Amino acid sequence: MFLPITEEITIDNLIRSNRRSVSLEIRGKGELIVRAPLRLAHSSILDIVRKKAEWIKEKQQQMKARKLPSDNEKYFLGQKLNVITIPGEKASVSFDENNLFITMPQHRTVQALLSRWYKAKTLEIVLPRTVHFAKEFGLGFTKVSISTASRRWGSCNKKGHITFSFRLIMLPSDIVDYIIIHELAHIVELNHSSRFWATVHKMMPEYEQHEKWLKHNGYKFSL
Ligand SMILES: [Zn+2]
């Protein structure tokens, strides 16, 4: 979908759904995603977007200016590591303070090996942390799984099944803890209402600084 609104602003994707308000999101290289209620008049949507034109332009400029880390730099618990690939018969991944060593057979890709490694590491580190916080706050989750598909850091459904992104373990450990606490708080409140944020605050009083940090820095942590 391609809907030019002003000379500078174009809606790249308009998603209508059963929701009450219009939300704007700037993604990736500056694409504008608009979410709107099913029956809201198109002209009303355009009005809202036009009113937010300054904000959109500013955000888009920020997105264009930011630098994505190069392919040979990856993160582990917030630490930037140089990727060093070594040809070998058996695939393996290991690391020291500065480097991530990937031994790879010819037919494999760095992407595939790292995605599997991050997934395993995330589960290994995040599961005991989740158990720890669940005990501390008396919350019962039913299951933790790790996904590779999600753009989100985590999610929690009404059955208490928490899913974390395999990218989680790229983040600094205080941010990892915040995301675990955020998802555990969804066991009490399944939405992002003020009651939800009050619950998070009780569990982690400094959560706001982590949330802010994530908004500004989250994009750096990808495969
Ligand atoms: Zn949430």
Give tens-digit pLDDT for 132-190.
999 999 999 999 999 987 678 999 999 999 999 999 999 999 999 999 999 999 999 99
* 76 Cα to the center of ligand 1, angstroms: 23
Residue 66 confidence (pLDDT) above 80: no
CA of 168 to the centre of ligand 1 (A): 14
Distance 34 CA to ligand 1 centre (A): 20
pLDDT for the residue 29: 76
If you measure from the C-alpha of residue 184 to the centroid of ligand 1, how many angstroms do you get, rounded to a whole number? 9
Average per-residue pLDDT for the chain: 91
Ligand 1 center from residue 185 Cα (angstroms): 8
Over residues 18-41, mean pLDDT? 90
pLDDT at residue 63 tops 90:
no
**Sequence ranges of the chain with CATH classification 3.30.2010.10:** 109-220
Residue 188 phi, psi dihedral angles, 5° rounding = -85, -45
Burial of 151 (0-12, 13-18, 19+ CB in 10 A): exposed
Rounded to whole angstroms, the Cα distance separating 221 from 80 reads 10
Q: Which residues pair with 73 in a beta bridge?
A: 82
- Distance in Å, CA 118 to ligand 1 centroid: 22
| pLDDT score of 212 more than 80 | yes
β-strand partners of 145: 163
Q: Which residues pair with 83 in a beta bridge?
A: 100
Cα-to-centroid distance, 89 and ligand 1 (Å): 42
Among 23-32, 55-64, 172-181, top mean pLDDT goes to 172-181
User: How far is the centre of ligand 1, averaged over its atoms, from the C-alpha of 193 (Å)?
Assistant: 10
Distance CA 164, CA 122 (A): 8
Ligand 1 centroid–CA 115 distance in Å is: 24
Mean pLDDT of 72-86: 93
pLDDT band per the 50, 70, 90 thresholds, residue 210: very high
What's the pLDDT at 41? 93
CATH of 109-220, one of 3.40.50.620, 3.60.40.10, 3.30.2010.10, 3.40.1110.10: 3.30.2010.10
